[in-house]
């Protein structure tokens, strides 16, 4: 039981990161009906930017005291703010260069363009920052012991770290905040109007181009925040980290019901838990197979995903 609980905590942590990235996928798809396959590399840009800023700032100690904790928290706020800014600029540029000129073309064209932008971002970071992994020591340390069990001469303790608590809580807060924005604000109403019919929304006075650009920026901010969380929790990043995370997040968005923010988060949590549990109890080499198998089964019996709504075409 203790081992299961520990792996559940680890799975929720990984799933929360996937969920944040998946929200960006589902927001873009919900408005323009296209998948931004460069979104995972925007996550990577946020992660690498966080590494560069931490390296420049010389932040090399953990939360060992009150003063140190305050300094670390202030430093991380500045890091994530700048990472969000950089990632937003990249994603805004992707929308202007790779999507807007192809918005009225056949659906395969923007897909190919997005894959091209993904390769461009990967190669740009690889050349600019080298391909080697970029590790650091843990910045956020400490945690809590939930329970323990004596196993022979050793004690197995179920723990949750401060970083895991921060990841889970911040993910829930961001999901709630973005759901409120979509459901209760004028920007959210404009986004939902564009989702239903961009031409009619334009005729009603909504600036469709600006709304879509803001949506890309919002998705990039979530991806950058997830990139910082990933980097701080696993203490390593590289130019290729966005590919695998992007595929898993896209899978999470489809699993939860693409177009639904709570569904994207639920899908991310499920993918994270499946990966960690399969790695813990079976073979780690087949954890991806297990996650994608669950996706296939869900789509066979629930094509719209867990929380997605079936598309109804009015004629």
Which range of 6-10, 288-292, 296-300, 305-309 scores highest in mean pLDDT? It is: 6-10
Residue 191 above 50 pLDDT?
yes
Model pTM?
Answer: 0.90
Mean pLDDT, residues 282-297 taken together: 84
Q: Identify the pLDDT of residue 313.
A: 54
Q: Which residue is listed with tokens 């970071």?
A: 125
Task: Read off the pLDDT of each residue in 7-24 and give the average, rounded to a whole number.
Answer: 93
- Give 145-157 pLDDT, tens digit per residue: 888 777 677 777 8
> Cβ(276)–Cβ(24) under 8 Å?
no
- Domains identified in the chain and CATH numbers: 2-301 (1.10.3470)
The closest alpha carbon to 24, from 194, 295, 217, belongs to 217
For 121, 176, 187, the CA distances from 77, given in Å and listed in that order, are: 25, 20, 25
Kindly tell me if the per-residue pLDDT of 172 is higher than 70. Answer: yes
pLDDT at 310: 64
CA distance 1 to 89: 46
In angstroms, the CA 84 to CA 217 distance is 9
Which pLDDT value is given to residue 257?
Answer: 86
Instruction: Tell me which range, 25-34, 150-159, 179-188, is most confidently predicted by mean pLDDT.
Output: 179-188
Average pLDDT over residues 239-248: 89
Chain mean position to CA 43: 7
Q: How confident is the model at residue 311 (pLDDT cuts 50, 70, 90)?
A: low
Alpha helices in the chain (DSSP H): 2-32, 39-57, 66-94, 108-129, 162-184, 186-196, 198-203, 208-234, 241-256, 261-281, 287-301
Report the range out of 35-49, 59-73, 125-139 with the highest average pLDDT.
35-49
Residue 42 contacts residue 242 (beta carbons within 8 Å): yes
Compute the average pLDDT of residues 215-221: 93
Tokens at residue 222, please? 């979530």
Give the model's pLDDT for residue 166: 92
Name the pLDDT band for 59 (thresholds 50, 70, 90).
very low
Q: What's the mean pLDDT in 133-148?
A: 83
How far, CA to CA in Å, does 69 sit from each of 30, 173, 273? Answer: 40, 21, 30
Place of tokens 């942590």: 13
Contact by Cβ (8 Å): 262, 180:
no
């Amino acid at each position: 039981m203790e081992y299961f609980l520990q792996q559940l905590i680890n799975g929720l942590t990984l799933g929360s990161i996937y969920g944040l990235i998946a929200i960006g996928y589902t927001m873009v798809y919900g408005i323009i009906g296209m998948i931004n396959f460069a979104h995972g590399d925007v996550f990577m840009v946020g992660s690498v930017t966080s590494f560069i800023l931490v390296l420049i700032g010389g932040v090399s100690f953990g939360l060992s005291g009150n003063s140190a904790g305050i300094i670390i928290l202030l430093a991380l706020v500045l890091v994530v703010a700048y990472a969000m800014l950089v990632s937003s600029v990249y994603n805004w540029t992707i929308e202007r260069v790779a999507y807007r000129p192809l918005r009225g073309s056949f659906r395969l064209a923007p897909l190919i363009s997005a894959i091209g932008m993904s390769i461009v971002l990967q190669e740009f970071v690889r050349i600019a920052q080298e391909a080697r992994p970029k590790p650091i020591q843990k910045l956020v340390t400490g945690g809590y012991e939930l329970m323990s069990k004596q196993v022979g001469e050793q004690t197995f303790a179920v723990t949750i770290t401060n970083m895991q608590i921060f990841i889970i809580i911040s993910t829930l807060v961001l999901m709630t905040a973005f759901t409120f924005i979509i459901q209760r604000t004028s920007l959210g109403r404009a986004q939902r109007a564009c989702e239903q019919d961009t031409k009619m929304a334009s005729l009603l006075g909504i600036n469709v181009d600006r709304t879509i650009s803001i949506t890309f920026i919002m998705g990039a901010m979530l991806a950058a925040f997830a990139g910082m969380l990933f980097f701080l929790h696993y203490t390593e990043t590289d130019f290729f980290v966005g590919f695998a995370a992007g595929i898993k997040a896209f899978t999470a968005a489809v699993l939860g019901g693409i177009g639904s923010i709570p569904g994207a988060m639920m899908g991310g949590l499920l993918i994270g838990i499946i990966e960690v549990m399969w790695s813990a109890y079976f073979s780690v080499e087949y954890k991806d197979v297990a996650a994608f198998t669950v996706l296939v089964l869900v789509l066979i019996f629930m094509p719209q995903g867990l929380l997605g709504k079936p598309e109804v075409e009015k004629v």
